[in-house]
Amino acid sequence: MREYPGKRRRRNGQRALPDAALTFASQWQWPVVPGASLEPPRRGRRDRTQAPAAQPRDRGCACPYPECAAPGAHPHDPGVLAATTDPRMVHWWWEQRPDAPVLLATGGRAPSAVSLPAVTAARALTRLDRLGVRTGPVVATPERWALLVASYDYDELGELLGEHGWVPSSLGFHGEGGYLALPPSETGAGRVRWERAPRPDGGAPWVPPVASVVDVLVEAVAAAPGGGSRLAG
């Protein structure tokens, strides 16, 4: 049975992140960098009156900023500019920090992404399927999904978005200089998983041009009350 990075978590949890990082970098040539990670859960004996072990969204970021808005899901020492496809560097990073989230440095040589609230994204994917639009991998957390697309520049994106009267603020764009957590990372937003798994054929997965999906995504978010909501999962 074919396996994808992020699918081996239960069988070999300690190797899942390092193995996924090496697959992305060396096989798919996607530049990656370790995320800041979450603070370790508190350890010690518990009795029946104590709270259960901390979940990802209950844990703070391991970076120095107490009010971090994206716990674990951003680069910190090294920064995003250090992202690489060099397997030796990737191996060394995750040997030092085997629980570090895997961050894709978006744009340039790697895919870009468009993210939106999870419920709205699910509806948008259904609409794209009905229209016969081929989509690539989709990365999901409990609250947001991100569609991977071919690398775009912001001039191209601006022209596409300029055709709409307005662009909802809940739509996120991850182009050159940006980053995105990939499965099987754990961040403050929860577990990162594949909603639509990549299907590599001897190399990196195929991703669509942003022009083929962006209109449906903008319209889906604009039509959603409040721009979408949390998707139970």
The residues, any chain, with a CB within 8 Å of residue 207's CB and separated by 6 or more, are 111, 136, 137, 148, 149, 150
What are 97-127's pLDDT values in tens digits?
Answer: 999 999 999 999 999 999 999 999 999 999 9
Percentage of the residues of the chain whose pLDDT score is greater than 70:
82
Query: Is pLDDT of 130 > 60?
Result: yes
Query: Is pLDDT of 96 > 80?
Result: yes
The residues, any chain, with a CB within 8 Å of residue 44's CB and separated by 6 or more, are none
Which of 81-90, 168-177, 178-187 shows the lowest per-residue confidence on average (mean pLDDT)? Answer: 168-177
Q: Are 169 and 120 in contact (CB under 8 A)?
A: no
Angle at 141 between CA 1 and CA 4, to 5 degrees: 20
Q: pLDDT band at 164, cuts 50/70/90?
A: confident
Q: What is the pLDDT of residue 225?
A: 80
Residue type for 21, please? A
Residue the block writes with tokens 């942003």: 210
Report the 3 state secondary structure along 145-203. EEEEECCCCHHHHHHHHCCCCCCCCCCEEECCCCEEEECCCEECCEECEEEECCCCCCC
What's this model's pTM, rounded to 2 decimal places? 0.85
Residue the block writes with tokens 């191209």: 156
Mean pLDDT over residues 163-180, rounded? Answer: 90
Q: pLDDT band at 2, cuts 50/70/90?
A: very low
Q: What is the pLDDT of residue 168?
A: 83
Torsion sign, CA atoms 87, 90, 96, 102: negative
CA distance 206 to 195: 16
Residue the block writes with tokens 């601006």: 158
What are 19-73's pLDDT values in tens digits?
Answer: 999 999 999 999 999 999 998 876 544 444 445 555 666 788 999 998 999 999 9
